[in-house]
Amino acid sequence: MELLSLVVPCYNEEENIEDFYEEAMKQEPFFAEKHIAMELLYVDDGSTDHTAERVRALHEKDKRVRLISFSRNFGKEAAIFAGLSKSRGGIVVLLDCDLQDPPSLLPQMYTLMCEEGCESVATRRVSRKGEPPIRSFFARRFYHLINRMSDTEIVDGARDYRMMSRRFVDAILSLEEINRFSKGIFSWVGFETRWLEYENVERRKGETKWSFWKLFRYAIEGIVGFSTAPLAFASFMGVFFCILAFLLIIFTIVRAAIFGDKTSGWPSLVCIISLISGVQLFCLGIVGQYLAKTYMEVKKRPIFIVKDEI
Ligand code: UDP
Ligand code: MG
């Protein structure tokens, strides 16, 4: 019998654990008919509420429910990595606990995967209905920017909700970087991927775990992880200002030779100095971002630490 693993990252999702279980198990008859068993792997990302207890209670009722608990909050990316590496199924699905990734799409995803013979079926929401407009605006800008800067295609509106073959999962796990950006990694590993589109669904219960700043840092993660264009931009700015300075020097010399030097231009000098030092610090900051990420990678710390596992 084949095994289908559902990997579910959870961070303070106590109200959603049972709802998710029920929704997911509604799909069971479809898979049972195809001789596919299911396992539900909840990854408790260091929750401070009763998430782990709720999963434990489910495990008592149904042994197909598994749990990995982290020693602290390592972030969704670490939870995804842990879930994928501990999953046992030949087919693995990654989905959120808040039911924003409707399990009712599972049969359709499976059918698509079999019919098309592809290694992964990904989902994309066609609308951002129900999301704060500012968040949508910055999300759109981010996708536009990163796709211009990176060779890896990052699809706007793509969810992390995805069905994958074992081969695809192993390919993802072979990327052991700590600064993980799954949306890029999924695309980077290649293989045939089919896209399934659906209308945005709002979170069932509780609140989003992503603040604006958390998302902003995640966006920087994506850019630094999948593009070196900002480094080239820093060099470009350097060359640009060198040429500008050179032209200014010539201009100043010629002007002094013709009209004499009346020591004017003090304010404009201050402006130029502050502009150029601003640009220098900005470029230094870009280099710093890459250096910091490299530093973290070189340490080779584990991506997550398990406290408990059932
Ligand atoms: N999540 C996690 N660790 C975190 C933040 C979030 O495992 O540090 C999980 C969360 O429990 C949920 C999924 O990631 O199952 C998506 O998070 P959320 O719904 O808050 O994000 P949104 O859907 O608003 O983008
Ligand atoms: Mg959500």
Cα 203 to middle of ligand 2, angstroms: 5
d(CA 309, CA 70): 9
Q: Is 210 touching ligand 1 by the criterion CB < 6 Å? A: yes
Cα 204 to middle of ligand 2, angstroms: 9
**Least reliable range by pLDDT among 8-22, 69-83, 206-220:** 206-220
Closest atom of ligand 1 relative to the 208 alpha carbon: 20
Q: Is 125 left (phi over 0), alpha (psi -120 to 50) or beta?
A: beta
How confident is the model over 7-23, as a mean pLDDT? 93
- 181 to each of 54, 176, 275, how far by Cα in Å? 29, 11, 34
Residue-level pLDDT at 135 = 84
Q: Is 73 touching ligand 1 by the criterion CB < 6 Å? A: yes
The C-alpha R_g of the chain, in whole angstroms, comes to: 25
Cα 145 to middle of ligand 2, angstroms: 24
Both tokens assigned to 222: 């994506």
Closest ligand relative to 76 C-alpha: 1
The beta-strand segments (E) located in the chain are: 2-10, 36-44, 65-70, 91-94, 120-125, 158-165, 193-198, 306-309
What is the tens place of the pLDDT at every residue in 228-256? 888 888 888 888 888 888 888 888 888 88
Q: How confident is the model at residue 155 (pLDDT cuts 50, 70, 90)?
A: confident
Residue-level pLDDT at 52 = 94
What is the tens place of the pLDDT at every residue in 85-138? 999 999 999 999 999 899 999 999 999 998 888 999 999 988 777 778 888 888
Q: Is 280 touching ligand 1 by the criterion CB < 6 Å? A: no
pLDDT exceeds cutoff 90 at 50: yes
Q: Where are the domains of the chain?
A: 2-211, 229-299
196 in helix, strand or coil? strand
Cα 125 to middle of ligand 2, angstroms: 13
Residue-level pLDDT at 207 = 85
Output phi, psi for 155, to 5 deg.
-80, 130
Residue-level pLDDT at 210 = 84
Fold of 2-211: Spore Coat Polysaccharide Biosynthesis Protein SpsA; Chain A (3.90.550)
Q: Is 212 touching ligand 1 by the criterion CB < 6 Å? A: no
Cα 76 to middle of ligand 1, angstroms: 6
Both tokens assigned to 105: 């799409």
Q: How confident is the model at residue 277 (pLDDT cuts 50, 70, 90)?
A: confident
Task: Say what percent of the chain tops pLDDT 70.
Answer: 100
d(CA 310, CA 305): 15
How confident is the model over 180-197, as a mean pLDDT? 91
pLDDT exceeds cutoff 90 at 30: yes
Take atom 23 of ligand 1 and give the residue whose Cα is closest.
208
Q: Is 44 touching ligand 1 by the criterion CB < 6 Å? A: no
Enter the pTM of the model. Answer: 0.82
Both tokens assigned to 90: 């030949």
Cα 258 to middle of ligand 2, angstroms: 69
Helix (H) or strand (E) holding 286: helix 266-299
Residue-level pLDDT at 243 = 85
